[in-house]
């Protein structure tokens, strides 16, 4: 397929065709997303938890994001790639943000960056887009600010909060963002905000009225041990854990019983040669 560009995304938006977006954190997870024909692949800072085993996204470093962005970029031939700016790499000043964004493009090899925040991030978004780097904004629930939000709480649930979301959406659009993630917002609020905008919204926990959807791959694939907490908005489309466990246990049993490797997995040697060797 032809590689997805910013124009492709704008065309999908104009046609009213939902934009498909999926996170990836390494070469294999990007491969499957790209082969499936995702429009956008996001190297989210959720990799802190899903790939690096950290408690939350506040721990992941820009350097670590760069390594993972690069591995995702190598696997991605068709999808448009976006890399998250991790906490601490963009809040100090627009100049700092631009410097980090440039590293994500040059070293991470993705096509665009994402950062969290609304109106207060407008000058930063403007700085980065002016330098020719596409910015995807992220409003509503912004996980990097979980401590000041008091946890992972649904945003825009009352009139004042919904108005703030709308204000943020307009501000990031004005600042030049090519689109925005809207996370954990009542469906009717996200749908109305989407209607008022001229750039696409990508929802996660924001109902089907957004211009597209995104999910964290490890969550939707079910690639985690049973009993893990999942947000309400996650639909588990697969059970990779069960399949991986089945294969692992079968391998273990076959090694213990010497059923593996079977003759077809071994290299032959002419009988005479072996007889000679045996002597
Ligand atoms: O880090 C991430 O994976 C994200 C998506 C959930 C939007 O920001
Ligand atoms: Na993120």
Q: What's the pLDDT tens digit per position in 224-236?
A: 999 988 999 999 9
pLDDT of residue 14: 98
**How many angstroms separate the alpha carbon of residue 2 from the centre of ligand 2?**
27
Kindly report the protein residue whose alpha carbon is nearest to atom 4 of ligand 1: 44
CA neighbor of 9 nearest in space, from 215, 217, 199, 210: 199
Looking at ligand 1, which atom is closest to the CA of residue 181? 7
With a 6 A CB cut-off, is 181 part of the ligand 1 pocket?
yes
pLDDT of residue 38: 98
Looking at ligand 1, which atom is closest to the CA of residue 46? 1
Long-range contacts of the stretch 87-96 (C-beta < 8 A, 24+): 87/45, 87/57, 87/58, 87/60, 87/144, 88/58, 88/62, 89/62, 90/115, 90/124, 94/123, 94/124, 94/126, 94/127, 94/128, 95/127
Is residue 136 a contact partner of residue 116, using CB atoms and an 8 Å limit? Answer: no
Residue positions annotated with a catalytic role? 183
Confidence class for position 264, pLDDT limits 50, 70, 90: very high
With a 6 A CB cut-off, is 84 part of the ligand 1 pocket?
yes
Confidence class for position 83, pLDDT limits 50, 70, 90: very high
Looking at ligand 1, which atom is closest to the CA of residue 45? 1
Mean pLDDT of 80-106: 98
Q: Which ligand is nearest to the CA of 216?
A: 1
With a 6 A CB cut-off, is 83 part of the ligand 1 pocket?
no
| Beta bridge pairs of residue 188 | none
Confidence class for position 132, pLDDT limits 50, 70, 90: very high
Q: Residues 6 or more apart from 236 whose CB is under 8 A from it?
A: 219, 220, 221, 222, 230
With a 6 A CB cut-off, is 39 part of the ligand 1 pocket?
no
With a 6 A CB cut-off, is 139 part of the ligand 1 pocket?
no
pLDDT of residue 243: 98
Tell me whether 0.90 is exceeded by the ipTM.
Answer: yes
**How many angstroms separate the alpha carbon of residue 196 from the centre of ligand 1?**
24
190-218: pLDDT as tens digits: 999 999 999 999 999 999 999 999 999 99
58-79: pLDDT as tens digits: 999 999 999 999 999 999 999 9
Looking at ligand 1, which atom is closest to the CA of residue 214? 7
pLDDT of residue 131: 98
Q: How far apart are CA 155 and CA 202, in angstroms?
A: 15
Kindly report the protein residue whose alpha carbon is nearest to atom 8 of ligand 1: 44
């Amino acid at each position: 397929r032809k590689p997805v560009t910013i124009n492709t995304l704008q065309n999908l938006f104009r046609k009213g065709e939902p934009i498909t977006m999926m996170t990836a954190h390494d070469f294999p997870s990007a491969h499957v997303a790209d082969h499936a024909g995702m429009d956008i692949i996001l190297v989210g800072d959720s990799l802190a938890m899903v790939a690096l085993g950290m408690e939350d996204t506040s721990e992941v470093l820009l350097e670590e994001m760069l390594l993972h962005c690069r591995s995702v970029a190598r696997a991605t031939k068709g999808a448009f790639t976006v890399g998250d700016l991790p906490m601490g790499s963009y809040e100090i000043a627009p100049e700092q943000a631009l410097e980090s964004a440039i590293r994500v493009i040059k070293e991470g090899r993705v096509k665009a960056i994402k950062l969290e925040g609304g109106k207060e991030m407008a000058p930063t978004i403007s700085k980065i887009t002016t330098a020719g780097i596409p910015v995807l904004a992220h409003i509503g629930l912004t996980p990097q600010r979980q401590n000041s939000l008091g946890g992972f709480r649904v945003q825009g649930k009352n009139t004042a909060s919904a108005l703030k979301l709308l204000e943020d959406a307009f501000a990031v659009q004005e600042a030049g963002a090519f689109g925005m993630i809207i996370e954990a917002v009542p469906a009717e609020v996200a749908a109305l905000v989407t209607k008022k905008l001229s750039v696409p919204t990508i929802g996660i926990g924001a109902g089907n009225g957004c211009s597209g959807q995104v999910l964290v791959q490890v969550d939707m694939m079910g690639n985690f041990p049973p009993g893990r907490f999942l947000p309400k908005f996650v639909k588990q489309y697969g059970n990779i854990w069960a399949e991986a466990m089945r294969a692992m246990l079968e391998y273990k049993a076959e090694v213990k019983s010497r059923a593996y490797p079977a003759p077809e997995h071994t290299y032959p040697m002419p009988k005479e040669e072996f007889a000679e060797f045996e002597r």
